[in-house]
Amino acid sequence: MKILLLGSGGREYALALKLRASARPVELVSAPGSDALAELGACVRLDLENPSEVATWCASNRPDLVVAGPEVPLVAGVGDAVRGLGIPCFGHDAATAHLEGSKAFAKAFMQRHGIPCAASHTVVELAAGEALIRTWTHGFPIVLKADGLAAGKGVVLAQSEAEALVTFRAFMAGQFGEASKTVVFEAPLVGMELSLHVLVDVDANHASYALLPACQDHKRIFEQDQGPNTGGMGAFGPLPFLRPQDIELMRTRLVEPTVRGLQVDGLNARGVLFLGVMWTAQGPELLEYNVRFGDPETQVLMQLLDEDLGRLLLEVAEGRLVARDLKLKPHTALTVVLAAEDYPEGARKGVPITIGSPAVTLIHAGTRKQDGQWLTNGGRVLNLATSAPDLAAARAAIEGSLSQVHWPGMQVRRDIGLKALRHAEAGKTVQDPW
Ligand code: AMP
Ligand code: GLY
């Protein structure tokens, strides 16, 4: 099977490892890929924001399947363009990708389909937003979201009226270009955040989905959830204290109304939806939709999935997903991100990395190879990932391999999964305060 994989980071490297683990031979081509992905297949330079460039390559190279890693190509219409050639694409149409590409569209979708979420106001005018802030009644922080894609930087939790005004004015002045000239204000939700991934295959005639295990990301750069937000410093799953009835609650309150809503709205879906969930005192509420796999959640999910990934993604891409419980290892998986100095404000690149022999899976995210030497080449540089019979054992396995990878300035959180482990050991459930 010839597969074109779009992307270049840790998520794509984890997908590539899993695609290659198929019993059937896989010919992998990554675009644009990376030096690390070049060791798992070919790489081709394509502009992922240009659907016709991707389609032109596909028309002459005829892959059996295209797998989209990031959201940007989907929002740009790469899924539509590839499907237009009759080539299966795991990745939604642009109209569906709008669920991530526009927070205002996503909120309207949630409200239209009765999906529990934070109360919100969408604002397109300076005076209206300033008045909203001055008469805000939902408590603090005031959550401000740039409507469009902002590379993960478009959400601000303003702790005061003054901070909200400064943030809002910067957004309206074009801090993220057109993406921030529409602003969604949200009431704050308090609780435990988790990541729920669902494979979805929806068109006018049929709708099916398959749940992946719930994971938890760790967004802050420092241990004990301190410091600025990052793309994610580590993740694990499934959550040890989530009971079957908790999964059922997310299925009935969030997932099924979403799948029905897609069909009612005439939106085709052929890929994954990653639901950002806040488990509040009222139960699970939806923070956001992503139309792609999470990073680093994918590194966890690929350790747990016990299916032929290429075959599974092709089922979705060809619109013949059979709703079912996916085969999973009876394990807990965990990934720890090794990040560059200065991340997340910047990233010190070009620093030589010492790599020994970790006893767990090494996942490249932002690396480059020069004269046989791996160098840092991004904010999130490498991941260590593994699965084990339980969360404590998974943590111990990663801890045992941490000494095998190093460079000056490397940042790592050694508390990935620790809060959840203590929560579970104390006999608490998802309903208890987090
Ligand atoms: P989003 O991109 O919408 O997931 O927002 C980024 C992060 O901001 C989320 O992962 C949450 O931690 C936080 N966040 C977003 N919306 C809210 C909200 N309404 N209340 C509290 N935190 C939020
Ligand atoms: N780990 C969060 C994300 O991929 O958006």
- Last residue in a domain, options 186, 214, 243: 186
**Domain span at residue 164?**
119-186
Cα 188 to Cα 426: distance, rounded to the nearest angstrom: 27
Q: What is the maximum span of the chain, computed from C-alpha positions, in angstroms?
A: 61
Task: Determine, yes or no, domain membership for 55.
Answer: yes
CB atoms within 10 A of CB 151: 9
Task: Determine, yes or no, domain membership for 233.
Answer: no
Say what the pLDDT of residue 46 is. 98
**What is the whole-number distance in angstroms between the Cα of residue 34 and the centre of ligand 2?**
20
Ligand 2 contact, 295 CB (< 6 A): yes
- Last residue in a domain, options 135, 163, 186: 186
Does residue 380 register a pLDDT over 80? yes
Question: Is there a single domain that holds both residue 136 and residue 74?
Answer: no
- pLDDT-derived band of residue 53, with 50, 70 and 90 as boundaries? very high
Give the pLDDT confidence of 199-252 residue by residue, as tens digits. Answer: 999 999 999 999 999 999 999 999 999 999 999 999 999 999 999 999 999 999
* For ligand 2, atom 5: residue with the closest CA: 294
Task: Determine, yes or no, domain membership for 340.
Answer: no
- Sorted by sequence, the CB contacts under 8 Å of residue 176 that are 6+ apart come out as 146, 148, 150, 153, 154
- Sorted by sequence, the CB contacts under 8 Å of residue 80 that are 6+ apart come out as 51, 93, 94
Nearest to 387 by CA among 336, 338, 337, 331: 331
Say what the pLDDT of residue 23 is. 86
Say what the pLDDT of residue 267 is. 98
Task: Determine, yes or no, domain membership for 33.
Answer: yes
Which atom from ligand 2 is nearest to the alpha carbon of 296?
A: 1
Query: Which ranges of 1-70 would DSSP assign to H, the alpha helix?
Result: 10-20, 51-61
Give the pLDDT confidence of 97-119 residue by residue, as tens digits. Answer: 999 999 999 999 999 999 999 99
Does residue 152 register a pLDDT over 80? no
pLDDT above 70 coverage of the chain, percent: 100
Question: Is there a single domain that holds both residue 128 and residue 91?
Answer: no
Say what the pLDDT of residue 150 is. 86
| CATH of residue 144 | 3.30.1490.20
Question: Is there a single domain that holds both residue 24 and residue 87?
Answer: yes
Task: Determine, yes or no, domain membership for 352.
Answer: no
Tell me which ligand sits closest to the C-alpha of residue 274. 2
Contacts 24+ apart (CB under 8 A), 79-86: 79/270, 79/271, 80/51, 81/51, 81/52, 81/54, 81/55, 82/51, 82/54, 82/55, 82/58, 83/270, 84/55, 85/55, 85/58, 85/59
pLDDT above 90 coverage of the chain, percent: 97
Task: Determine, yes or no, domain membership for 87.
Answer: yes
Residues lining ligand 1, Cβ inside 6 A: 118, 143, 145, 155, 157, 186, 188-189, 193, 276, 287-288
Give the pLDDT confidence of 271-317 residue by residue, as tens digits. Answer: 999 999 999 999 999 999 999 999 999 999 999 999 999 999 999 99
**What is the whole-number distance in angstroms between the Cα of residue 186 and the centre of ligand 1?**
9
Question: Is there a single domain that holds both residue 153 and residue 85?
Answer: no
- pLDDT-derived band of residue 153, with 50, 70 and 90 as boundaries? confident
Does residue 39 register a pLDDT over 90? yes
Q: In Å, what is the CA distance from 116 to each residue of 144, 246, 258, 318, 352?
A: 19, 15, 11, 31, 47
Question: Is there a single domain that holds both residue 145 and residue 81?
Answer: no
Task: Determine, yes or no, domain membership for 348.
Answer: no
- Only one residue has tokens 């930087």, namely 153
Do the beta carbons of residue 235 and residue 297 sit within 8 Å?
Answer: yes
* For ligand 2, atom 2: residue with the closest CA: 294
Say what the pLDDT of residue 416 is. 98
| CATH of residue 87 | 3.40.50.20
- pLDDT-derived band of residue 379, with 50, 70 and 90 as boundaries? very high
- Only one residue has tokens 């993960």, namely 152
Cα 316 to Cα 272: distance, rounded to the nearest angstrom: 9
Q: What tokens were used for 315?
A: 């089922």
- Last residue in a domain, options 99, 134, 150: 99
B/e letters for 190-206, b = 16+ CB within 10 Å, e = fewer, are ebbebbbbbbbbbeeee
How large is the angle between the packed helices 10-20 and 309-317, nearest 10 degrees? Answer: 110
Ligand 2 contact, 12 CB (< 6 A): no
Total structural domains within the chain: 2
Task: Determine, yes or no, domain membership for 275.
Answer: no
Q: What tokens were used for 291?
A: 């139309």
- Average pLDDT score over residue span 79-106: 98
Say what the pLDDT of residue 313 is. 98
- pLDDT-derived band of residue 76, with 50, 70 and 90 as boundaries? very high
What rounded mean pLDDT belongs to the chain?
A: 97
- Average pLDDT score over residue span 172-195: 95
Collapsing DSSP to helix, strand or coil, 208 comes out as: strand
Question: Is there a single domain that holds both residue 50 and residue 87?
Answer: yes
Say what the pLDDT of residue 421 is. 98
- DSSP class of residue 330 equals S
Question: Is there a single domain that holds both residue 78 and residue 151?
Answer: no
Q: What tokens were used for 398?
A: 């990663």
The DSSP bridge partners found for residue 144 are 156, 185
